[in-house]
Structure 1
Amino acid sequence: MLSDRQKMILSAIVDDYIRSAEPVGSRSISKRGDVGFSPATIRNEMSDLEELGFLEQPHTSAGRIPSEKGYRYYVDHLLQLSKVTAPDYNMLRSYFAERLQEVEQVIQQVATMLSGLTNYTSIVMGPEVFNTTLRLLQVVPLSDTSAVAIIVTSTGQVENKVFQIPQGVPMGEIEKFVNILNARLAGVPLLHLRSKMYNEIGEELSKHVSGYEDLLKVFEGVVDDDKEDRIFLSGATKMLAQPEFKDVEKVKTFLELLDETPTLVKLISSAPDGLQVRIGSENTLEAINNCSLITATYAVDGKTLGTIGILGPTRMEYGRVIGLLEHFSKDMAVMMQRWYK
């Protein structure tokens, strides 16, 4: 449990580090009008905060910087949300007051606006990822070794995917396999087909279908929906201007991640409903272990339609980003409600 003085000093260090990207010393903290403690007192408290894991000291003679634990405590207990400025709010209201012809246009524009307002990378996932479900799956043999899977979605889209029949698996077993998939997965969003196929019906398949493990591997590729046109990214290069990304290898790893659409979809869609803040290693992906991801879902009548995310350094303006995402998600929900009437 931190004392009030430690909380004040930790908050001041996080705020200064967000602005400067430089380690923060006791003297600079003592000069702040809202602190009121001597440099010696602040140094002692900073040392205690470091021992508790809330601060780190990059170099012996340098000041301190917040650790992941420090950022987490700051976001959970000390953060004061920044008010959305009048110009920003007016821009949001004027944009969402318009009714554009295509949902994709709206989502792309939202991604662009968020990136511009925050100077971070924005990722927006639209309604199709959550709403498009499996209606029917059929398999038609082409030869003794190959077949075509026909996937019909709830939107009426039909996709054909040719696959190689696993050696030794007769067509009758494939038909039983497909019948079980149709019975158990019809109405499931395409986004969740693969995980449900393994986690929820794997045991049933093992009881009724011989060679089911080989078929699972084949159909994993069949139901792996291409979502590249359903996730929108803006400001990928803005992160390169941040001091944390001077390392060439770090930049390369980050940009490679942004090119992997399925990984991005999994990253964004795995966030729980509502507003969530994941700091550093909480993101689980090594490529963004030094980043923070803030996501907000938008919903209509209790049903989640999409997710808006901001990806930036752990030295992020949390108050401003959270404030913007709260406004964007609410306005997106209102607009989508008009759209789906």
Structure 2
Amino acid sequence: MLTERQKLILRAVVDDYVMTAEPVGSRTVSKREGVGFSAATIRNEMADLEEMGYLEQPHTSAGRIPSHKGYRYYVDHLMEPARLSRMEMMAFRRFFARKRDEVEQVIQETASILSQMTNYTSIILGPKVFESTLKHLQVIPLSERAAVVIFVTNTGHVEKRRISVPEGVSLSSIEKLVNLLNTKLTGIPLYKLKRVVYWELMDELRRHIDHYESVMSMIDQMLETDHGERVFFSGATNMLNQPEFQDVEKVKTLLDLFENSETMVQLFESREEGVQVRIGRENDMEAVNNCSIISATYTVDGRPLGTIGILGPTRMDYRKVITLLDVFSKHFSEHLRRLY
């Protein structure tokens, strides 16, 4: 159990280190408004905090920096919510006042503004593609035996897939098929498309489409569904501006991580309510052992759709990022509700 004096000193060290990225000495803490203790007293308390694992001393002659344990205690017990500046509030209001028609556009722009406002890397897991609904289907012939299928969903997601055209199936048959599928499948979730075709459209397809068996094989190819989540990034290179990431190998490891969508989904996926904070080794992935991840789930009508997250160094401005994510996730959810 920390004393009130130790709590005050730990909070001062974290706040100062977040701002300066320099180890914090006892004299620096003693000059802070509201501290009211001598440098000698603070030095003794900082030594005790180091012994308990809340602070670390990177060099013998230097001041102290927070440990992962110190950051965790700060986030859980000492941190006060930040107030957004007037400029940030204006940018926030302007952002959500703009009219947009596509979910993926909103997601990408949200990732962009969050990385700008935090100077960290923002990652948003988009809604699972297979849960979105079909808006339009198009087939573009490439040759007599090949074509490209283009899906457009209600979220603005566009997916292209190359398919084989069975022998004997003409261009006019494909056009007729696409018109029928657009009429019958628009507004249907992608994961239900095959079910609707096989349960509700088989008789109609038999009546109107030549080479029925071959066409059904082609439809199977056309309606294969991607079950993954799209990952939206912004500010990936912001980490290069952080003193902790001047090491080229550290940066390369992170950038490699960003390119692996499956790993990013594992790292950020969350169905818990509220803002979640994972610090350093709590992330269970060596590549981000020196990073913190703050994330929040966004919902539509109470149904979790994805995750908004910020990745930065453990020396992150937790107060600001937690406040931003809390505000953004709620307004983002409301904004998406109008598009669904």
| TM-score using structure 2 length | 0.72
- In structure 1, the partner of 2:299 is 299
Residues 250 and 158 (structure 1 numbering): CA distance in 2 closer, same or farther, change over 3 Å? Answer: closer
Aligned-pair CA distance for 1:282: 0.6
Aligned-pair CA distance for 1:130: 8.2
Q: Post-superposition, which runs of at least 4 consecutive aligned residues in structure 1 deviate over 3 A?
A: 128-133, 157-162, 187-190, 222-227
- In structure 2, the partner of 1:122 is 122
What is the distance in 2 between the residues matched to 1:101 and 1:78?
A: 41
Q: Counterpart of 1:35 in 2: which secondary structure? A: coil
Q: Deviations over 1:239-292 (max 9, x none)?
A: 111000011111111111011111111211146332100000111111110000
Aligned-pair CA distance for 1:104: 0.9
Aligned-pair CA distance for 1:128: 3.2
- In structure 1, the partner of 2:233 is 233
Contact 1:297/1:305 (<8 A) preserved: yes
What is the distance in 1 between the residues matched to 2:130 and 2:306?
A: 7
How much identity, in percent, do the aligned residues show?
59
- In structure 1, the partner of 2:96 is 96
| One-letter amino acid matched to 2:91 | M
Q: Counterpart of 1:251 in 2: which secondary structure? A: helix
Contact 2:126/2:307 (<8 A) preserved: yes
1:59 maps onto 2:59 in alignment = yes
- In structure 2, the partner of 1:285 is 285
Q: Deviations over 1:150-180 (max 9, x none)?
A: xx9x98x897999xxxxxxxxxxxxxxxxxx
Residues 52 and 188 (structure 1 numbering): CA distance in 2 closer, same or farther, change over 3 Å? Answer: farther
What is the distance in 2 between the residues matched to 1:272 and 1:226?
A: 19
Aligned-pair CA distance for 1:62: 1.0
User: Which range moved further: 231-240 or 299-308?
Assistant: 299-308
> In terms of Rg, which structure is larger?
2
Q: Counterpart of 1:339 in 2: which secondary structure? A: coil
Residues 318 and 301 (structure 1 numbering): CA distance in 2 closer, same or farther, change over 3 Å? Answer: same
What is the distance in 1 between the residues matched to 2:271 and 2:319?
A: 19
1:323 maps onto 2:323 in alignment = yes
- In structure 1, the partner of 2:35 is 35
Aligned-pair CA distance for 1:319: 0.6
User: Which range moved further: 108-117 or 300-309?
Assistant: 300-309
Q: Deviations over 1:300-329 (max 9, x none)?
A: 221112211000001011011111111111
What is the distance in 1 between the residues matched to 2:266 and 2:95?
A: 29
Residues 120 and 159 (structure 1 numbering): CA distance in 2 closer, same or farther, change over 3 Å? Answer: same
| One-letter amino acid matched to 2:74 | Y
| One-letter amino acid matched to 2:40 | A
| One-letter amino acid matched to 2:314 | T
Give the 5 Å matches for 1:196-207: none
Residues 25 and 96 (structure 1 numbering): CA distance in 2 closer, same or farther, change over 3 Å? Answer: same
What is the distance in 2 between the residues matched to 1:339 and 1:223?
A: 22
Give the 5 Å matches for 1:177-326: 225-227=227-229, 230-270=230-270, 272-326=272-326
How many residues were matched structurally?
A: 264
What is the distance in 2 between the residues matched to 1:231 and 1:53?
A: 36
> Aligned-pair RMSD on alpha carbons?
2.8
Residues 29 and 189 (structure 1 numbering): CA distance in 2 closer, same or farther, change over 3 Å? Answer: farther
| TM-score using structure 1 length | 0.72
- In structure 2, the partner of 1:144 is none
Residues 128 and 5 (structure 1 numbering): CA distance in 2 closer, same or farther, change over 3 Å? Answer: same
Contact 2:130/2:227 (<8 A) preserved: no
| One-letter amino acid matched to 1:6 | Q
What is the distance in 1 between the residues matched to 2:283 and 2:163?
A: 33
Contact 1:130/1:306 (<8 A) preserved: no
- In structure 2, the partner of 1:170 is none
Gaps of 5+ in 1: 134-151, 163-186, 191-221
Q: Deviations over 1:75-107 (max 9, x none)?
A: 000001111122212222222122212111111
- In structure 2, the partner of 1:15 is 15
Gaps of 5+ in 2: 134-150, 165-188, 193-223
Contact 1:276/1:294 (<8 A) preserved: yes
1:333 maps onto 2:333 in alignment = yes
Residues 120 and 271 (structure 1 numbering): CA distance in 2 closer, same or farther, change over 3 Å? Answer: farther
Aligned-pair CA distance for 1:50: 0.6
Contact 1:130/1:305 (<8 A) preserved: no
Q: Deviations over 1:4-57 (max 9, x none)?
A: 000000000000100111111101111112211001100110011011110011
Contact 2:111/2:124 (<8 A) preserved: yes
Give the 5 Å matches for 1:87-166: 87-128=87-128, 131-132=131-132
Contact 2:130/2:225 (<8 A) preserved: no
- In structure 2, the partner of 1:69 is 69
